[in-house]
Amino acid sequence: MTSKIGLFYGSTTCYTEMAGEKICEFIDKTYSNVTVEIYDIALNPVQRMSEYQYLILGIPTWDFGELQEDWESIWEEIDTLDLTGTLVALYGLGDQIGYPEWFQDALGYLCEKVKMQGASTVGTWPTKGYEFKQSKALTDNGEAFVGLSLDDENQSELTDKYIERWCIQIIDEFRLS
Protein backbone atom coordinates (compact mmCIF):
# COMPACT_ATOMS: atom_id res chain seq x y z
CA MET A 1 0.00 0.00 0.00
CA THR A 2 1.26 3.48 -0.83
CA SER A 3 1.36 6.03 1.98
CA LYS A 4 0.91 9.70 1.20
CA ILE A 5 2.71 12.62 2.79
CA GLY A 6 1.52 16.19 2.30
CA LEU A 7 4.31 18.75 2.08
CA PHE A 8 3.18 22.36 2.62
CA TYR A 9 5.58 25.26 2.34
CA GLY A 10 5.61 29.05 2.25
CA SER A 11 8.48 30.77 0.46
CA THR A 12 9.26 34.36 -0.52
CA THR A 13 12.52 33.97 -2.45
CA CYS A 14 12.09 30.30 -3.41
CA TYR A 15 14.68 28.61 -1.17
CA THR A 16 12.08 26.84 0.97
CA GLU A 17 10.25 25.86 -2.20
CA MET A 18 13.43 24.39 -3.73
CA ALA A 19 14.18 22.46 -0.54
CA GLY A 20 10.60 21.11 -0.63
CA GLU A 21 11.07 19.93 -4.20
CA LYS A 22 14.32 18.18 -3.25
CA ILE A 23 12.60 16.47 -0.30
CA CYS A 24 9.81 15.23 -2.61
CA GLU A 25 12.25 14.02 -5.23
CA PHE A 26 14.43 12.17 -2.74
CA ILE A 27 11.54 10.43 -0.96
CA ASP A 28 9.77 9.54 -4.21
CA LYS A 29 12.88 7.98 -5.73
CA THR A 30 14.02 6.22 -2.54
CA TYR A 31 10.77 4.77 -1.20
CA SER A 32 8.47 2.99 -3.65
CA ASN A 33 5.73 2.76 -0.97
CA VAL A 34 5.60 6.53 -0.24
CA THR A 35 4.54 9.51 -2.35
CA VAL A 36 4.84 13.15 -1.41
CA GLU A 37 2.28 15.70 -2.61
CA ILE A 38 3.59 19.26 -2.48
CA TYR A 39 1.58 22.44 -1.87
CA ASP A 40 2.41 26.14 -1.76
CA ILE A 41 0.37 27.46 1.16
CA ALA A 42 -0.15 30.72 -0.73
CA LEU A 43 -2.14 28.84 -3.40
CA ASN A 44 -3.90 26.05 -1.51
CA PRO A 45 -6.44 25.99 1.32
CA VAL A 46 -4.90 25.17 4.66
CA GLN A 47 -7.72 22.65 5.29
CA ARG A 48 -5.96 20.30 2.85
CA MET A 49 -3.51 19.55 5.64
CA SER A 50 -6.27 17.61 7.44
CA GLU A 51 -6.32 15.09 4.57
CA TYR A 52 -2.94 13.68 5.59
CA GLN A 53 -1.78 11.50 8.43
CA TYR A 54 1.81 12.53 7.65
CA LEU A 55 2.87 16.12 7.01
CA ILE A 56 6.10 17.88 6.16
CA LEU A 57 5.92 21.65 6.73
CA GLY A 58 8.52 24.12 5.43
CA ILE A 59 8.93 27.67 6.73
CA PRO A 60 11.66 30.32 6.46
CA THR A 61 12.19 33.03 9.09
CA TRP A 62 11.95 36.63 7.88
CA ASP A 63 12.37 40.16 9.26
CA PHE A 64 14.16 39.52 12.57
CA GLY A 65 12.37 36.48 13.89
CA GLU A 66 9.05 36.80 12.04
CA LEU A 67 6.92 34.32 10.11
CA GLN A 68 7.22 34.21 6.34
CA GLU A 69 4.36 36.29 4.86
CA ASP A 70 2.27 33.43 3.41
CA TRP A 71 2.38 31.52 6.68
CA GLU A 72 1.47 34.71 8.49
CA SER A 73 -1.61 35.13 6.28
CA ILE A 74 -3.02 31.72 7.18
CA TRP A 75 -1.69 31.60 10.77
CA GLU A 76 -5.10 31.95 12.45
CA GLU A 77 -6.72 29.44 10.08
CA ILE A 78 -4.36 26.78 11.46
CA ASP A 79 -6.30 27.12 14.73
CA THR A 80 -9.33 25.58 12.99
CA LEU A 81 -7.50 22.34 12.10
CA ASP A 82 -7.74 19.17 14.14
CA LEU A 83 -4.33 17.53 13.79
CA THR A 84 -4.88 14.88 16.44
CA GLY A 85 -2.99 11.75 15.40
CA THR A 86 -1.09 13.57 12.65
CA LEU A 87 2.68 13.15 12.53
CA VAL A 88 4.49 16.31 11.43
CA ALA A 89 8.10 16.82 10.37
CA LEU A 90 9.24 20.44 10.03
CA TYR A 91 12.05 22.12 8.14
CA GLY A 92 13.14 25.74 8.19
CA LEU A 93 15.33 28.09 6.20
CA GLY A 94 17.35 30.78 7.93
CA ASP A 95 20.58 32.75 7.96
CA GLN A 96 22.76 32.10 11.03
CA ILE A 97 25.37 34.77 10.19
CA GLY A 98 23.00 37.55 9.16
CA TYR A 99 20.40 36.95 11.87
CA PRO A 100 22.20 35.07 14.70
CA GLU A 101 19.75 36.22 17.40
CA TRP A 102 16.68 35.08 15.50
CA PHE A 103 17.99 32.00 13.73
CA GLN A 104 15.09 29.79 12.56
CA ASP A 105 12.62 31.37 14.99
CA ALA A 106 9.64 30.74 12.67
CA LEU A 107 10.42 27.02 12.67
CA GLY A 108 9.92 27.06 16.43
CA TYR A 109 6.66 29.02 16.18
CA LEU A 110 5.23 26.59 13.63
CA CYS A 111 6.22 23.59 15.73
CA GLU A 112 4.39 25.02 18.75
CA LYS A 113 1.39 25.88 16.59
CA VAL A 114 0.85 22.39 15.17
CA LYS A 115 1.39 20.79 18.57
CA MET A 116 -1.38 23.03 19.94
CA GLN A 117 -3.66 21.53 17.27
CA GLY A 118 -2.89 18.00 18.48
CA ALA A 119 -0.06 16.97 16.15
CA SER A 120 3.01 15.01 17.23
CA THR A 121 6.31 16.12 15.75
CA VAL A 122 9.33 14.15 14.53
CA GLY A 123 12.58 15.03 12.79
CA THR A 124 14.65 16.96 15.32
CA TRP A 125 18.06 17.98 14.05
CA PRO A 126 21.37 18.53 15.94
CA THR A 127 22.67 22.09 16.43
CA LYS A 128 26.27 20.90 16.02
CA GLY A 129 27.91 22.62 13.07
CA TYR A 130 25.81 25.80 13.28
CA GLU A 131 26.88 29.13 14.77
CA PHE A 132 24.19 31.40 16.14
CA LYS A 133 23.36 33.24 19.37
CA GLN A 134 19.69 32.44 19.92
CA SER A 135 16.89 30.48 18.35
CA LYS A 136 13.26 29.87 19.25
CA ALA A 137 13.45 26.61 17.29
CA LEU A 138 15.32 24.57 19.90
CA THR A 139 14.07 21.48 21.72
CA ASP A 140 13.55 21.72 25.50
CA ASN A 141 17.09 20.58 26.34
CA GLY A 142 18.53 23.07 23.82
CA GLU A 143 20.61 20.43 22.06
CA ALA A 144 18.66 20.17 18.83
CA PHE A 145 16.42 22.10 16.47
CA VAL A 146 12.79 21.02 16.41
CA GLY A 147 13.20 20.26 12.70
CA LEU A 148 15.71 20.30 9.86
CA SER A 149 17.59 23.60 9.81
CA LEU A 150 18.83 24.71 6.38
CA ASP A 151 20.94 27.79 5.70
CA ASP A 152 21.40 28.35 1.99
CA GLU A 153 23.05 31.74 2.60
CA ASN A 154 26.05 30.28 4.42
CA GLN A 155 26.04 26.49 4.08
CA SER A 156 24.42 25.73 0.73
CA GLU A 157 26.95 22.96 0.12
CA LEU A 158 25.39 21.03 3.03
CA THR A 159 21.75 21.33 1.95
CA ASP A 160 21.45 18.25 -0.29
CA LYS A 161 23.33 16.02 2.14
CA TYR A 162 21.24 17.23 5.11
CA ILE A 163 18.00 16.77 3.18
CA GLU A 164 18.85 13.18 2.29
CA ARG A 165 19.89 12.32 5.83
CA TRP A 166 16.81 13.98 7.34
CA CYS A 167 14.41 12.31 4.89
CA ILE A 168 15.73 8.87 5.84
CA GLN A 169 15.33 9.86 9.52
CA ILE A 170 11.73 11.08 9.19
CA ILE A 171 10.54 8.18 7.04
CA ASP A 172 11.89 5.94 9.78
CA GLU A 173 10.21 8.04 12.50
CA PHE A 174 6.95 8.00 10.52
CA ARG A 175 7.41 4.19 10.50
CA LEU A 176 7.07 4.08 6.73
CA SER A 177 10.44 2.46 5.97
Q: Is 13 among the residues that bind ligand FMN (CB under 6 A)?
A: yes
Which residues inside 105-134 make contact with ligand FMN, applying CB under 6 A? none
DSSP 8-state symbol, 13: S
Question: Is the Cβ of residue 86 or residue 104 nearer to ligand FMN in the bound state?
Answer: 104
CB 136 within 8 A of CB 78: no
Least Cβ distance, residue 103 to ligand FMN (angstroms) = 4
Q: Nearer to ligand FMN by C-beta: 40 or 173?
A: 40
The DSSP code sequence of 131-177 is --S--S-B-TTSSEESSEEE-TTT-HHHHHHHHHHHHHHHHHHTT--
Does 97 bind ligand FMN (CB under 6 A)? Our answer is: no
Who's near 134: CB < 8 A, 6+ residues apart? 100, 101, 102, 103
Binding mask 66-85 for ligand FMN (x = CB under 6 A): --x-----------------
Using CB under 6 A as the binding rule, whether residue 145 contacts ligand FMN is answered as no
Cβ atoms within 10 Å of 101's Cβ, excluding its own: 11
Task: CB nearer to ligand FMN: give 89 or 107.
Answer: 107
Q: Which is nearer to ligand FMN, 34 or 113 (CB)?
A: 113
Closest CA to 25 of 52, 7, 44, 49: 7
Contact range with ligand FMN by CB under 6 A, out of 7-15, 40-48, 81-89, 154-162: 7-15
Nearest to 122 by CA among 146, 93, 97: 146
Residues that bind ligand FMN (CB under 6 A): 11-16, 60-65, 68, 93-95, 99, 102-104, 152-153
